[in-house]
Homo-oligomer: A and B are copies of this chain.
């Protein structure tokens, strides 16, 4: 189920990019350049969902059994991910105007925070007293994942109030969170 929903949500992002109808090479080029926030939102959301996807996939390799609560928690995570094309479109539509940017960034950050928190909730629910964890997974491995996963909610949570000072700082942090995961460090 999860793979299908994430694949669709990530691909629907493109539908939120407006197709400019300006005529003439110059006008079209300007219209395409002017909507850079749409490309920025598309790329940032695509990569962020991609990171959630990889982590989700990874996490479920440690989980041996699935119970009813886990299914429900996972459904909520999928609901959060499905919502991101909307919050991305709102961000893209208001990023350029100085007035409006703040609210759009809050919504955008909140949708990221929601998925990051749920990823943690799922992991802690599954790993609590090794409830649903495969027997061959070491305690150290579990602990390592718990520590790494806390980065997301922490960063996203801190940047929500930060958006009051400057939405652009928040968005930079989101890009950094995605980059931290995407750039291979040593391993």
* A residues apposed to B, CB below 8 Å: 1, 3-17, 19-25, 27-29, 32, 42-43, 46-47, 50, 53-54, 57, 68-69, 71-72, 75, 78-79, 82-83, 85-86, 89-90, 93-94, 97, 99-104, 107, 182, 184, 187
Contact = CB atoms under 8 A, between A and B. Distances in A.
A55 B28 CA distance: 33
B28 A68 contact: no
Given A4-B8, A23-B100, A75-B47, A14 B86 contact: yes
A27 B104 CA distance: 11
A94 B19 CA distance: 11
A8 B22 CA distance: 28
Contact of A79 (B43, B94, B103, B104): B43
A25 B97 CA distance: 10
A177 to B, nearest CB: 15
Contacts of A94: 23, 28
A164 to B, nearest CB: 11
